[in-house]
Amino acid sequence: MRILGIESSADETSAAVVESDGPGGVRLLSNVIQSQIDIHKVYGGIVPEISARSHIEAILPVIEAALQQSLVASHYSPGKGSPKLETGDKRQATQSDPWNQIDAIAVTYAPGLVGSLLMGVMTARTLALIKKKPLYPIHHVKAHVYANFINPVSHNTSGTTLTPRWRPPTFPILALIVSGGHTQLVLFESHQQYKILGRTQDDAVGEAFDKVAKILGLPYPGGPSIQAAAAKGDSSKYTLPKAKMKNNYDFSFSGLKTAFLRRVQREVGVDITFPSHELSSRLSTAERYDFAASFQQTAVETLVDKTIKAYQEFSPASVVIAGGVAANQALRRQLSDRLPIKVTYPPIWLCTDNGAMIASAAYYESQFRQPCDPRDLEVVPSLSM
Ligand code: KG4
Ligand code: ZN
């Protein structure tokens, strides 16, 4: 089964084709991502109106590229260039209509920015009707977990190859989902049955990385900027508080962000009325690194403490991390160090938003769910898993 996955919920326009690989999970045939990061960078965050308009321009070329690449690739990994065209493949690419090989379409319908979601959903609805393909609506946050079900291709001198004997995580799965919009611990009994153990009561952890980066004058998106600055800093320099929650597995990051702001204000000797965007120029480079490291340490420790607690209580067979913040090296390292079993996480380019995770989720959902009627599919900007 080959599925085209379409993602447009925030600032990446992405389309990918995956193919089922039986017990080996799914394998990637293409994954095209057009990021809007450079457009939004100047504003320090996503501007919804601009995001929607950028998706309109990008979506059809991105889908076309994903379909074409899927025809010529047996497996594909971005960052390593496009798959090489062999003579036979070239013939196949020009002769075949890529749509003949697509069995279903999957699209993110929730949650996200309404205008951005609409671009993906309207495109998918139209294509499903014209090309007569079943359409699967996919929940973006759940789909992040399914990046862990894609065979992580390895790279060598002869190109990219599937990781041999690789197997996707087994149930029950404890998933720590950490992105710019969501932070939650979920226990999956199966693909169909899951329980949310806890979630953030205010800001998502990725959002906290982004806001703290802004205070430190580091570029958007904040996660990678904080990680790079933290690598040069001393994480024990500034003590920051961890929120105490009524439900053990809930999170809160807005208090940490405010405590961070107050600590920086105190360090530079100004009161709480001093504008946050003028703080970074008063910090030395070393102070900026130490603040980044101290924040990252506190945020990561909070995530890891709760994941360990849930692991001890529920004894899952696998622990996975998913979402943009799963790209964070400190989070990966600390969780790996403290858990008695191996932690599963996607390659970095599958942690942030992509069409491959949407297609992967749809492959597993198609085993227990009927496709929707393309004429009825609506977007839902705010929807829990
Ligand atoms: O999953 P994602 O691409 O979009 C949402 O669904 O929200 O996640 C984006 C978030 C941003 O907040 C970004 O700062 C964060 O993931 N992020 C990171 C790293 N890379 C991306 N956070 C910490 N460390 C990173 N290396
Ligand atoms: Zn996401």
Q: Are strands 183-188 and 173-178 parallel, antiparallel or unpaired?
A: antiparallel
Atom nearest to 330 CA in ligand 1: 24
Q: Indicate which ligand has the atom closest to the C-alpha of 295.
A: 1
Closest CA to 227 of 326, 302, 351, 354: 326
- The pLDDT score that the predictor gives to residue 76 is 56
Place of tokens 């004429």: 375
- Please, what sign has the CA dihedral across residues 329, 357, 82, 64? negative
Report whether residue 227 contacts ligand 1, using a CB cutoff of 6 Å.
yes
- Ligand number with the minimum distance to the CA of 46: 1
The type of residue at 181 is G
For the CA of 205, the closest atom of ligand 1 is: 12
With a 6 Å cutoff on the Cβ, whether 316 touches ligand 1 is: no
Question: Which tens digit of pLDDT belongs to each residue from 283-314?
Answer: 999 999 999 999 999 999 999 999 999 999 99
Point out the ligand nearest to the CA of residue 206: 1
Binding site membership of 346 for ligand 1 (Cβ less than 6 Å): no
- Spacing, Cα 277 to ligand 1 middle (Å): 21
Question: Is the beta carbon of 352 within 6 A of some atom in ligand 1?
Answer: yes
Extract the residue ranges of the chain whose pLDDT is less than 50: 79-88, 91
How far is ligand 1, taken at its centre, from the CA of residue 225, in Å?
A: 11
pTM assigned to the model: 0.93
Contact (Cβ atoms closer than 8 angstroms) between residue 21 and residue 165: no
Residue 223 CA to ligand 1 centre (angstroms):
6
What does the pLDDT read at residue 130?
A: 98
Closest CA to 172 of 198, 190, 184: 190
Question: Hey, which of 11, 295, 325, 353 would you mutate to test ligand 1's pocket, going by the most ligand atoms within 8 Å of its Cβ?
Answer: 325
Q: How far is the CA of 158 from the centre of ligand 2 (A)?
A: 32
Question: For the chain, how big is the Rg over CA atoms in Å?
Answer: 21
Give one DSSP letter per residue of 2-14, joined into a string: EEEEEE-SSSEEE
Phi, psi values for residue 230, rounded to 5°: -60, -30
**Which run of H or of E encompasses 58?**
helix 48-72
Instruction: Give the list of residues 6+ apart from residue 385 with CB closer than 8 angstroms, or none.
Output: 139, 141, 142, 184, 186, 194, 196
Task: Please tell me the number of Cα atoms within 13 Å of 308 on its side-chain side.
Answer: 15
CB 111 less than 6 A from any atom of ligand 1:
no
Mutate to test the pocket of ligand 1, among 9, 176, 179 (most ligand atoms within 8 A of CB): 179
Q: Which DSSP string do the residues of 277-318 spell out, in sequence order?
A: GGTGGGS-HHHHHHHHHHHHHHHHHHHHHHHHHHHHHH--SE
- Binding site membership of 327 for ligand 1 (Cβ less than 6 Å): yes
Q: What is the pLDDT of residue 74?
A: 54
Q: What is the pLDDT of residue 87?
A: 43
Residue nearest ligand 1's atom 18 by CA: 223
Is residue 222 within 6 Å of ligand 1 at its C-beta? yes
- At residue 78, the pLDDT reads 56
Distance 9 CA to ligand 2 centre (A): 8
Nearest atom, ligand 1, residue 180 CA:
7
